[in-house]
A and B are shown apart, each in its own frame.
Chain A
């Protein structure tokens, strides 16, 4: 393992066969700091610079799910207990899909699991409590899995208000709390569900990924099964912003560094989940009113699949953008998407990528 110098940028790639940690001082030359959890699926891993700690969702087919943490990104420690459903619930945690440090509460973590549920830890992942009100939501008996399972895959705490949070569940929809998880409401108005006879049900939607606007946390972007949408809190509904994209379908989505900036990678359709003949990232700088196709340095022809955690930004200036594929490529741009290169091309199937400063 390589010690990562302070002042680096770190990129964590969760794959079906372990976690890969890359680092760079200049974002031109990248080094592999190490491979961890060899052979195990890592659905999500992220470094939280404010906490100085990284968290990883490690899911063994045989032995179940664990949440692990690391301070220097060279050695990982397993939490004393993973998230566990109460015995009488009839559910058992199969996978942890997402781990999120609460930006407003040091030491507090949230984990989204399958079957869908949200867990909270107040001791950096050594113990977990189920956020019961969400799994007691009146719609719970009707929750159905998407193709990836019934998973709570996105957790968006509001950095300005620790009581407010959004959670995305496939194929159920988006839920929001404004009282620290005591109560939850659905947040699906304006969303499309054209696979149902009733196109406007309360649940049954399939959010693939959500991200808050970097400047206005009340604005949320969503790559949904049936389009890309924006939530403006004042309007209290989703507005479709797919116009200008070659396809409504896709999984990955990341916010940029400035207000109104976001990135998606459209895929052909739910019946053919590959890029449309070339690897192309799309960027908006005006909250989805217009999209710019970014291909400089990306491969063509290319029929690649990018999963829901497959697009990330690093928060640096100029902004670094990262895309990880099912074929094991890790593409990156260090100028906001204008020029691209590859950090790695032969990783195992990539399920997630995150990037951040390593101060």
Chain B
């Protein structure tokens, strides 16, 4: 599946804006990406494993509301967007 990265994280993927990920959950996809792009998962997840407070994930255009990436189910052909939350005034 396609995982679309924000500009701030593209340095982890050698400049790529979209990378291919494999897995049945968001946690699995991030683990897959981490194997190829070390440090990327740490930018998306807290040390506890939850999605960071100011990171928003969309799957096929729908915002993920569960902070636990292990509970976010994915399938082949999905498109995952990782975005910085609008954290301003």
Interface presence of B84 (CB below 8 A): yes
Q: How far is the CA of A60 from the CA of B84 in the complex (A)?
A: 11
What is the minimal beta-carbon distance from A305 to any residue of chain B, in angstroms? 21
A80-116 near B? 1/0 per residue, CB < 8 Å: 1110111101111100000000000000000000000
Per-position binary interface string of chain A over residues 161-205, scored 1 when its CB falls under 8 Å from any chain B CB and 0 otherwise: 000000000000000000000000000000000000000000000
A92 x B38 contact (CB < 8 A): no
**Contacts A80-B38, A82-B42: A62 and B47 contacting too (C-beta < 8 A)?**
no
Check if A80 sits within 8 Å of B39, measured CB to CB.
Answer: yes
What distance in Å separates the Cβ of B85 from its nearest Cβ neighbour in chain A? 7
Asked if A93 and B47 sit within 8 Å, CB to CB, the answer is yes
Q: Which of B9, B44, B49, B55 contacts A87 (CB 8 A)?
A: B49
> Residues of A contacting B55 with CB < 8 Å?
62-63
Q: Which residues of B contact A64 (CB under 8 A)?
A: 42-43, 46, 52
Q: How far is the CB of A17 from chain B (nearest CB, A)?
A: 14
Bound complex: CA of A259 vs CA of B78, how far in Å? 65
Q: How far is the CA of A92 from the CA of B44 in the complex (A)?
A: 12
By the criterion CB–CB under 8 Å, are B42 and A62 in contact? no
Q: How far is the CA of A87 from the CA of B48 in the complex (A)?
A: 5
Closest residue of chain A to B84 (Cβ to Cβ) is: A62
Of chain A, the residue at the smallest CB distance from B44 is A63
Number of A-B contacts (CB under 8 A): 49
Minimum Cβ distance to chain B for residue A209 (Å): 27
Q: Do residues A62 and B85 form an inter-chain contact, with CB atoms below 8 A?
A: yes
Chain A contacts with B in 24-78, Cβ cutoff 8 A: 60-64, 66, 78
B16: interface (CB < 8 Å): no
Q: What is the distance, in angstroms, from B5's C-beta to the closest C-beta of chain A?
A: 11
In the complex, A80→B39 CA distance in Å? Answer: 6
Contact, CB under 8 Å: B52 / A62: yes
Check A63 against B8 for contact (C-beta < 8 Å). yes
Q: Is the interface of B mostly helix, strand, loop or mixed?
A: loop
A residues within 8 A CB of B11?
A: 78
Q: A62-B8, A82-B42 are in contact. Are A89 and B47 (CB under 8 A)?
A: yes
B35 interfacial by beta-carbon distance below 8 Å: no
Q: Is the CB of B47 within 8 A of A87?
A: yes
Query: In the complex the two chains form, what is the Cα distance from A86 to B11 in whole Å?
Result: 25
Query: Most chain-A Cβ atoms within 10 A of its Cβ — which of B38, B42, B49, B54?
Result: B42
- Tell me, in angstroms, the Cα distance from A90 to B9 when the chains sit together: 25
Q: Which of A63, A78, A92 contacts B47 (CB 8 A)?
A: A92
Q: Are B38 and A63 in contact (CB under 8 A)?
A: no
List the A residue with the shortest CB-CB distance to B49.
Answer: A87
- Interface set, chain B 46-89, CB cutoff 8 A to A: 46-50, 52, 54-55, 84-85, 87
**Chain A residues in 8 Å Cβ range of B46:** 64, 92
Would you give the shortest CB distance from B52 to chain A, in whole angstroms? 6
A80 to B50: give the CA distance in the assembly, Å: 21
Contacting residues of chain B (14-36) with chain A, CB-CB under 8 angstroms: none
Q: Which residues of A contact B39 (CB under 8 A)?
A: 66, 78, 80-82
Contact A63 B48 (CB under 8 A): no
Partner among B48, B50, B54 whose Cβ is within 8 Å of the Cβ of A62: B54
Please, how many angstroms separate the alpha-carbon atoms of A80 and B11 in the complex?
Answer: 12
What chain A residues lie within 8 Å of B84 (beta carbons)?
A: 62-63
Contact B38 A61 (CB under 8 A): no
For the complex, what is the distance from the CA of A90 to the CA of B49, rounded to whole Å?
9
By beta carbon, the residue of chain B nearest A90 is B48
CA distance A80 to B35 in the complex (A): 12
Q: Which residues of B contact A78 (CB under 8 A)?
A: 11, 39
Closest B residue, CB atoms, query A78: B39
Residue of B38, B47, B54, B87 near A84 (CB, 8 A) is: B47
A interface residue numbers (CB < 8 A to B):
60-64, 66, 78, 80-82, 84-87, 89-93
Chain B positions near chain A (C-beta within 8 angstroms): 8-9, 11, 38-39, 42-44, 46-50, 52, 54-55, 84-85, 87
Given contacts A82-B39, A85-B47, 9 further A-B contacts (CB under 8 A): A61-B87, A62-B52, A62-B84, A63-B55, A64-B42, A78-B39, A86-B47, A91-B47, A92-B47
